């Protein structure tokens, strides 16, 4: 395996760390359509990096440029310091796991996995040994004589992973690695994938549209929209400190309302919105009177049937408009006097003894939240 | 209502079958007819089979037709496959539209035109470079390849388009150079299409009359040409015997093909079963 360039868990924060992949000013146009628009990105050795975005946001095009199936219209891609633009896919230190797995139907599991090593003219004994080891890692040894058609979806996924990993690439590219699996298997496989990545130490670049998958798997996430990065950061940064409304809305759900800054105090900001005057802990300075957006995550709002007492600066009352019962938690849609609807989620910690217990439709409820939980967005 | 329709369907199917197969059955029966006159029944006999096996002209024609068909099918498959690959996998190259049009032109061109133009070509060539010195096996084979490769190319194009390119990309990604991808991935996956193309080219060549008549020369009698020329002199029942042998041969081929398909279907079902169990 490749020697780690840095031992840090957060290499992107170190000033002198050398990135394994450097994407510089890369654009890709298909005719008039710009799939990727002048993006810059550094990915470091050992990362599990996710490109997250909706369909058509350019994430797959970017991945295919890393693999060498597409040539950038402009810009450069370096892997381990080498300019990759003119290097054909079969000479790149990358391997890809395809969304459809792309297993060769006329070869057994064993032959599929050995295919890449054979191309590199690796000695026969070594091929056998490496294939054996990798199949052991993905727990498919007993299936090595089977054809791909004779495997279940989850097993095919692991063959695809083994086939890409056995070549010990510097970078493993994964295109929607879990999309073809059913929900239960997907959750289980997420953790398996992260474990395997940790064991082999190869840098993973994952393309996904599934934010839950991105959150559980990655060290860092790049949120993409319309061919551009909206934000690059750790899962926590992206969820708790989004840069803009797109990210706040795309990752998880958020109550986003427009507002005007009334006051920029020394340790707080006061914004007038449809939620009333919202008190926010001070981060960046904002101009008084400027237009901003205030976002609050549904789980950060406390909901109660009785007046909790005026403990904090942020509280308001409303009427329950609708309830979605999900089992482990419930979603409440609360209508405020201003007509604004607020999403609130609340864990169902107590098992109700009777059906009438708990909050129900048309109940008058009290909402409150911490000033530290509110996200203030400029764009 | 349902019953009524079912009766109607049964009747139609029976009528269709009768229409298709009674002539063939009659032909087989009449091949065992003793009488020299085709329409007169003279009692059972295998006499025309004896005549057939002793007729050198007929066997020469069969042999020529088979040789042409095999060579034609092989070359048409190779060239048609290459043409199909160029059309589907080479992206947009200069003259692609023209090439695509020329490729399928033989499918719509009237046979007499194809035959006539090829004849003119061969005559001109002979005058210019002295080759082909005489018309026969070579000229017929070349003529057959020109039209049957169009059919192969169409089959290959359809199969390539349906296959998608992901597997080839996966192979490239795993370090295989483009030529290895062609040999290890594309061609094995194309094999069924190529086999179908070969068989189609073989059959097309075997029963072509019009084009063969144009480009053939003395001694270049293929089976269709021979049979057709005998109509003028009067058919003898030995043609019935030959037809019977050919029908049995074709029936055997169809049966083998059906068996292979049935086996494949069974294998797919088994694979699914295995996949579900694991």
CATH number at residue A269: 2.40.50.140
Of all residues in chain B, the percent with pLDDT exceeding 70 is: 98
pLDDT at B5 over 80: no
Domains in chain A, number:
2
A86 touches B: beta carbon within 8 Å? no
Question: Minimal CA–CA distance to A143: which of A118, A167, A111?
Answer: A111
Residues of chain A contacting residue B185, judged by C-beta atoms under 8 Å apart: 104
Cβ B176–A150 below 8 Å, yes or no? Answer: no
Select the residue from A104, A134, A140 to test the B interface by mutation, using most B Cβ atoms within 10 A: A104
Enter the DSSP assignment of A354: S
pLDDT at B240 over 70: yes
- Out of A89, A163, A167, closest to residue B172 by CB: A89
HSE-up of residue A278 (Cα within 13 Å, Cβ side) = 31
A205 touches B: beta carbon within 8 Å? no
Chain B residue at shortest CA distance from A115? B174
Looking at the complex, report in whole angstroms how far the Cα of residue B96 sits from the nearest Cα belonging to chain A.
19
Q: Compute the Cα dihedral for A257, A263, A268, A270 and give only its sign.
A: negative
Cβ A116–B274 below 8 Å, yes or no? Answer: no
- Out of A94, A98, A149, closest to residue B170 by CB: A98
Same domain, yes or no, for A135 and A225? yes
SS3 state of residue B140: helix
Structure tokens belonging to residue B241:
């015997």
Cβ A106–B188 below 8 Å, yes or no? Answer: yes
Residues of chain B contacting residue A100, judged by C-beta atoms under 8 Å apart: 166
pLDDT at residue A313, rounded to an integer: 83
Q: Strands A220-225, A203-208: parallel, antiparallel or unpaired by DSSP?
A: unpaired
* A153-165 vs A124-137: helix crossing angle, rounded to 10: 140
Give me the torsion for CA of A114, A115, A116, A119, rounded to 10°: 120
pLDDT at residue A3, rounded to an integer: 47
CATH of B57-238, one of 1.10.3720.10, 3.40.50.300, 3.40.50.920, 3.90.1150.10: 1.10.3720.10
Is A370 within the bounds of a domain?
yes
Same domain, yes or no, for A265 and A187? no
The mean pLDDT of B257-262, rounded to a whole number, is 90
What's chain A's Rg over C-alpha atoms? Answer: 25
Residues of chain B contacting residue A152, judged by C-beta atoms under 8 Å apart: 275-276, 278
Regions of chain A where pLDDT drops below 50:
1-6
Average pLDDT, chain A: 89
Total CB pairs under 8 A between chain A and B? 75
Same domain, yes or no, for A147 and A107? yes
pLDDT at residue B250, rounded to an integer: 84
Cβ B170–A89 below 8 Å, yes or no? Answer: no
Is A1 within the bounds of a domain?
no
Cβ A90–B278 below 8 Å, yes or no? Answer: no
Select the residue from A68, A89, A175 to test the B interface by mutation, using most B Cβ atoms within 10 A: A89
- A178 φ, ψ to 5°? -115, 0
Same domain, yes or no, for A30 and A167? yes
Select the residue from A84, A100, A119 to test the B interface by mutation, using most B Cβ atoms within 10 A: A119
Burial, A196: exposed, middle or buried (Cβ in 10 Å; 0-12, 13-18, 19+)?
buried
Cβ B167–A104 below 8 Å, yes or no? Answer: yes
- Out of A89, A149, A155, closest to residue B173 by CB: A89
Q: Which residues contact A352 (CB under 8 A, 6 or more apart)?
A: A358
ipTM over 0.90: no
Alpha-helix residue ranges (DSSP H) falling in chain A: 59-67, 109-119, 124-137, 153-165, 183-200, 211-217, 235-240, 245-250
Looking at the complex, report in whole angstroms how far the Cα of residue A157 sits from the nearest Cα belonging to chain B.
13
A96 touches B: beta carbon within 8 Å? yes
Select the residue from B91, B159, B170 to test the A interface by mutation, using most A Cβ atoms within 10 A: B170
- Summarised one tens digit per residue, pLDDT across range B172-196 is 999 999 999 999 999 999 998 999 9
Question: Minimal CA–CA distance to A155: which of A115, A108, A116?
Answer: A108
- Out of B167, B174, B185, closest to residue A167 by CB: B174
Q: Compute the Cα dihedral for B255, B257, B262, B263 and give only its sign.
A: positive
| Cα A172 off chain centre by | 17
A293 touches B: beta carbon within 8 Å? no
Is A8 within the bounds of a domain?
no
Same domain, yes or no, for A298 and A238? no
Same domain, yes or no, for A119 and A195? yes
- Tell me which H or E stretch contains A222: strand A220-225
The mean pLDDT of B48-72, rounded to a whole number, is 91
Cβ B272–A149 below 8 Å, yes or no? Answer: yes
Same domain, yes or no, for A225 and A265? no
- Nearest-5° Cα angle at B277, B275 to B278: 70
Enter the DSSP assignment of A274: B
Cβ B172–A90 below 8 Å, yes or no? Answer: yes
Same domain, yes or no, for A98 and A26? yes
Structure tokens belonging to residue A196:
């395997």
Same domain, yes or no, for A273 and A349? yes
Same domain, yes or no, for A281 and A192? no
Cβ B173–A96 below 8 Å, yes or no? Answer: yes
Chain A residue at shortest CA distance from B168? A102
The mean pLDDT of B165-170, rounded to a whole number, is 93
pLDDT at residue A2, rounded to an integer: 46
pLDDT at residue A172, rounded to an integer: 95
A98 touches B: beta carbon within 8 Å? yes
Domain that holds residue A321: 254-377
- A301 φ, ψ to 5°? -105, 130
pLDDT at residue A76, rounded to an integer: 94
Residues of chain A contacting residue B179, judged by C-beta atoms under 8 Å apart: none
- Out of A96, A116, A147, closest to residue B271 by CB: A147
Same domain, yes or no, for A337 and A197? no
Same domain, yes or no, for A177 and A156? yes
Q: How many helices (H) and strands (E) does chain B have?
A: 12, 0
pLDDT at residue A5, rounded to an integer: 47
Domain boundary among A246, A274, A294: A246
- How far apart CA A37 and CA A53 sit, in angstroms, is 14
A30 touches B: beta carbon within 8 Å? no
Domain boundary among A218, A246, A274: A246
Domain boundary among A203, A220, A246: A246
Select the residue from B175, B190, B193 to test the A interface by mutation, using most A Cβ atoms within 10 A: B175
């Amino acid at each position: 395996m490749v020697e780690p360039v840095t031992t840090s868990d957060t290499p992107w924060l170190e000033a002198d760390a050398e990135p394994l992949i450097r994407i510089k000013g890369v654009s890709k146009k298909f005719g008039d359509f710009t799939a990727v628009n002048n993006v810059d990105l550094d990915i470091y050795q050992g990362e599990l990096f996710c490109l997250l975005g909706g369909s058509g946001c350019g994430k797959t095009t970017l991945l295919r440029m890393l693999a060498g199936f597409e040539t950038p219209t402009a810009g450069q891609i370096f892997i381990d310091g080498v300019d990759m633009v003119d290097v054909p896919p079969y000479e790149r230190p990358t391997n890809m796991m395809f969304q459809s797995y792309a297993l060769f139907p006329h070869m057994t599991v064993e032959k599929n996995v050995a295919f890449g090593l054979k191309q590199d003219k690796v000695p026969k004994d070594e091929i056998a040994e490496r294939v054996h080891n990798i199949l052991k890692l993905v727990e498919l040894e007993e299936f090595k004589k089977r054809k791909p058609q004779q495997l279940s979806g989850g097993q095919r996924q692991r063959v695809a992973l083994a086939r890409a990993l056995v070549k010990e690439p510097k970078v493993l590219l994964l295109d929607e690695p879990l999309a073809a699996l059913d929900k239960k298997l997907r959750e289980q496989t997420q953790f398996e994938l992260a474990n395997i990545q940790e064991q082999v130490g190869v840098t993973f670049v994952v393309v996904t549209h599934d934010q839950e998958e991105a959150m559980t798997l990655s060290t860092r996430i790049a949120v993409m929209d319309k061919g551009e990065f909206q934000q690059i950061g750790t899962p926590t940064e992206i969820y708790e400190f989004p840069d803009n409304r797109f990210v706040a809305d795309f990752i998880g759900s958020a109550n986003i309302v427009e507002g005007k800054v009334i006051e920029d105090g020394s340790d707080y900001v006061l914004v007038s919105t449809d939620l009333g005057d919202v008190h926010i802990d001070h981060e960046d300075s904002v101009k008084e009177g400027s237009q901003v957006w205030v976002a609050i995550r549904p789980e950060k709002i406390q909901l109660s049937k009785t007046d909790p007492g005026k403990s904090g600066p942020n509280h308001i009352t409303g009427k329950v408009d609708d309830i979605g019962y999900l089992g482990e938690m419930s979603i409440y849609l609360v209508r405020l006097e201003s007509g604004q609807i607020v999403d609130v989620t609340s864990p169902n910690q107590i098992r109700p003894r009777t059906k009438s217990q708990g909050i129900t439709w048309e109940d008058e409820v009290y909402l409150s939240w911490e000033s530290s939980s509110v996200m203030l967005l400029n764009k | 209502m349902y019953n009524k329709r079912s009766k109607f369907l049964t009747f139609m199917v029976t009528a269709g079958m009768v229409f298709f197969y009674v002539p063939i059955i009659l032909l087989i029966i009449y091949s065992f007819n003793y009488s020299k006159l085709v329409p007169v029944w003279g009692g059972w006999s295998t006499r025309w089979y004896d005549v057939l096996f002793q007729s050198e002209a007929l066997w020469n024609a069969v042999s020529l037709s088979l040789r042409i068909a095999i060579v034609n099918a092989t070359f048409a498959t190779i060239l048609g496959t290459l043409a199909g690959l160029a059309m589907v996998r080479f992206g947009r190259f200069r003259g692609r539209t023209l090439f695509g049009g020329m490729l399928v032109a033989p499918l719509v061109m009237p046979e007499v035109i194809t035959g006539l133009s090829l004849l003119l070509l061969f005559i001109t060539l002979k005058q210019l470079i002295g080759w082909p010195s005489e018309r026969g096996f070579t000229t017929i084979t070349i003529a057959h390849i020109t039209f049957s490769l169009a059919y192969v190319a169409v089959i290959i194009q359809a199969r390539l388009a349906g296959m998608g390119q992901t597997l080839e990309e996966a192979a490239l990604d795993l370090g295989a150079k483009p030529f290895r991808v062609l040999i290890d991935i594309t061609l094995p996956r194309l094999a069924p299409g190529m086999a179908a193309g070969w068989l189609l080219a073989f059959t097309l060549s075997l029963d072509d009359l019009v084009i063969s008549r144009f480009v053939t020369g003395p001694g270049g009698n293929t089976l269709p040409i021979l049979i057709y020329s005998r109509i003028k002199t009067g058919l003898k029942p030995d043609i019935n015997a030959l037809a019977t042998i050919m029908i049995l041969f074709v029936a055997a081929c169809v049966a083998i093909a059906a068996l292979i398909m049935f086996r494949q279907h069974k294998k797919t079902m088994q694979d699914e079963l295995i996949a579900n169990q694991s």
